[in-house]
Amino acid sequence: MAHTSLNITLVQTDIHWEDKQANLQKYEQMIAGIAGKKEVVVLPEMFATGFTMNTATMAETMDGATVQWMKDISKHHRCILTGSAIIEEGGKYYNRMLWVQPDGNIGMYDKRHLFAYGDEDQHFTSGNKRLICSVKGFRICLMVCYDLRFPVWARNANDDYDVLIYVANWPERRSLAWKTLLQARAIENMSYVVGVNRVGTDAKDLTYSGDSSAFGPLGEVLWQHSGTEAVHTITLDKEHLTSTRQHLPFLNDADKFIIVD
């Protein structure tokens, strides 16, 4: 019996500040250059604009050009494309992570924890529902940047998921927290964890070191890259995850709770 595997490609890149056309053209070239089978391709948080609070100018609806671009790329390459963008809906703005499938179906996760230190809570509306997607027998939970600091929200209390994906614009000055917390989420949830961050310097003079990473269910480092742009594909093994959880059934002993707003 063949092992069930899943390719996830991490795209760590610099982001042109508030220049959607330049960014989308760049991603198009990077995605076209991915070697091997494309299955899930992960872009950073606010991949089309950078981490801007200029919602009035930068926001789009779900019928806008950025979402359409994602649908076109996903269909053309027959892969799932994910990352977050600024979406306007019902007069509110969301930092929305999109899970775009080749058939045009889209899953949506609105960032739960808004970064008040950067005034994100003054411009965006918080989400209140997790999203767990399925592909090739893997259940994948989507998270955005600051969510990483809040383990309760990501808790795999009922064996809900197999892979946890974070997309981010996480500054270099707090890179230790980024790398440490990604690894901790893998260990405590006995899950694969993938974190995709940007590099470069933005218009606010914040520098980003990337440190995009992938960890196994025991916290083992599968891949990590700092400082420069990179495109890297990791292959996840479902049987390895299952056997690890069976051999070390730590999730069975977890505290049971519900989240109340």
Active site residues: 45, 111, 145
Give the dihedral sign, CA 174/180/186/189. Answer: negative
Q: Report which secondary-structure segment, H or E, holds 207.
A: strand 207-215
**How are strands ordered across the β-sheet holding 5-12?**
106-110, 92-100, 80-89, 40-42, 5-12, 230-237
Contact assessment for residue 16 and residue 50, using Cβ atoms and an 8 Å cutoff: yes
CA distance 55 to 34: 32
Number of CB atoms found within 10 A of residue 242's CB: 14
Q: Virtual CA dihedral for 176, 112, 254, 162, nearest 10 degrees?
A: -80
